[in-house]
């Protein structure tokens, strides 16, 4: 049936195609927002985030700062599943006389996910407010310690960019696999991502999905005098997780270039969801370019 549809002449007026795409986008958007799983994921993420409080001075510094970054994972999983449910409907063939082709329907479904981005923007805004309400979080240890650390704008933007990736991943798996097969894969992907300390090394973090800052960089041997380090550095001393003095590195530039890497991955996933053809080839090329630029730039950001 798809082969027959692809040979039909394109004779429909563009205005009717645009109207159909808008109508489908609105219908799918309403369905997504009415999915209880989306709000369950959002609720879990907010609950997790709200339960994070600054750790006592004698506990590992940075636990709360890093813990807040991970709380978005249930929301991302829910967004992926909601997107997969929408694109799963595309697995049913439509008649050759359908008013729009699959490509236009895919665009409509992607446009329909814009409200999901707004949900995540609201989550990021709530996270920023919560950090300020707590008076900031602690990072580092004396003599390089702060108790008023706030996530940078770039770090706050990461949940929004991750939502784009969640939509794209859900779209690809929902379009190409039955939902019962997509759910375990999406679960493993997003909850493995939450084991962020596995991907926190400076060599690996540019390639991670959920990049949790700060990154620890070598500062000096365990016998170094921390007073000799630059005064603006945040520091962590030798302990259970490191045998050396480390610089606790937080960078907005690193986070922004990581967003470029994530957008590249998202574009590649969308290429899996769209039909074969010129569109897919352009998406693969663009996604690959963005991914490579994002990764290389992140490595260049490190001092």
In sequence order, which residues have a C-beta less than 8 Å from that of residue 25 and are 6 or more positions away? 108, 109, 111, 112
Mark residue 86 as left, alpha or beta (left: phi above 0; alpha: psi -120 to 50; beta: remaining): alpha
By CB under 8 A, the residues from 221 to 260 that bind other proteins are none
What does the per-residue mask of binding to other proteins show for 46-85, with x meaning CB under 8 A?
-xx--x----------------------x--x--------
> By three-state DSSP, how is residue 149 classified?
strand
Q: Please give the Cα distance from 88 to 182 (Å, whole number).
A: 10
Among 26, 91, 191, 285, binds other proteins (CB under 8 A): 191
In sequence order, which residues have a C-beta less than 8 Å from that of residue 89 and are 6 or more positions away? none
Nearest approach, Cβ of 242 to other proteins (angstroms)? 12
> By three-state DSSP, how is residue 126 classified?
helix
Q: Does 134 bind other proteins (CB under 8 A)?
A: no
| Distances from the Cα of 44 to the Cα of 48, 51, 113, 123, angstroms | 6, 11, 20, 11
DSSP string, 19-70: HHHHHHHHHHHHHHHT-HHHHHHHHHHHHHHHH--PPPTTSPTTHHHHHHHH
Nearest approach, Cβ of 29 to other proteins (angstroms)? 22
Nearest approach, Cβ of 201 to other proteins (angstroms)? 7
What does the per-residue mask of binding to other proteins show for 1-40, with x meaning CB under 8 A?
----------------------------------------
Q: Of the two residues 195 and 300, which places its CB atom closer to other proteins in the complex?
A: 195
Q: Does 201 bind other proteins (CB under 8 A)?
A: yes
Among 117, 150, 160, 179, binds other proteins (CB under 8 A): 179
Nearest approach, Cβ of 10 to other proteins (angstroms)? 34
Q: Does 195 bind other proteins (CB under 8 A)?
A: yes
Give the helix/strand (H/E) hosting 255: helix 252-273
- Give the total of residues touching other proteins (CB under 8 A): 27
Q: By the 8 A CB rule, do 294 and 256 touch?
A: no
> By three-state DSSP, how is residue 250 classified?
coil
Interacting stretch for other proteins, rule CB under 8 A, among 177-185, 209-217, 224-232, 243-251? Answer: 177-185
Quote the Cα angle for 164-27-177, to 5°.
55
Among 8, 188, 217, 292, binds other proteins (CB under 8 A): 188
Among 9, 13, 56, 184, binds other proteins (CB under 8 A): 184
Q: Please give the Cα distance from 41 to 64 (Å, whole number).
A: 21
Nearest approach, Cβ of 258 to other proteins (angstroms)? 19
Q: Does 180 bind other proteins (CB under 8 A)?
A: yes
**Where does this chain bind other proteins (CB under 8 A)?**
44-45, 47-48, 51, 74, 77, 177-185, 187-189, 191-192, 194-195, 197-199, 201
């Amino acid at each position: 049936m798809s082969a027959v549809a692809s040979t039909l002449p394109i004779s429909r007026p563009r205005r009717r195609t645009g109207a159909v795409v808008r109508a489908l986008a609105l219908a799918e958007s309403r369905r997504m927002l009415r999915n209880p799983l989306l709000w369950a994921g959002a609720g879990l993420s907010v609950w997790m985030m709200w339960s994070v409080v600054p750790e006592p001075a004698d506990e590992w510094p940075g636990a709360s700062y890093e813990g807040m970054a991970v709380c978005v994972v249930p929301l991302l999983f829910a967004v992926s599943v909601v997107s997969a449910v929408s694109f799963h409907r595309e697995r049913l063939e439509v008649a050759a006389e359908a008013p729009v082709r699959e490509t236009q329907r895919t665009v409509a479904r992607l446009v329909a996910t814009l409200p999901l981005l707004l949900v995540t923007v609201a989550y990021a805004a709530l996270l920023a407010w919560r950090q300020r309400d707590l008076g900031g979080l602690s990072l580092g240890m004396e003599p390089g310690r702060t108790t008023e650390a706030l996530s940078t704008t770039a770090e706050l933007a990461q949940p929004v960019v991750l939502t784009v990736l969640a939509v794209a991943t859900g779209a690809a798996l929902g379009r190409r696999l039955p939902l019962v097969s997509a759910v375990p894969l999406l679960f493993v992907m997003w909850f493995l991502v939450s084991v962020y300390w596995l991907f926190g090394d400076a060599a690996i973090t540019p390639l991670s999905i959920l990049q949790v800052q700060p990154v620890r960089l070598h500062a000096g041997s365990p016998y170094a005098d921390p007073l000799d380090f630059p005064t603006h550095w945040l520091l962590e001393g030798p302990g259970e997780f490191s045998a050396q003095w480390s610089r606790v590195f937080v960078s907005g530039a690193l986070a922004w270039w990581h967003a470029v890497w994530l957008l590249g991955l998202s574009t590649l996933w969308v290429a899996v969801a769209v039909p074969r053809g010129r569109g897919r080839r352009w998406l693969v090329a663009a996604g690959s370019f963005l991914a490579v630029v994002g990764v290389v730039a992140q490595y260049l950001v490190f001092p």
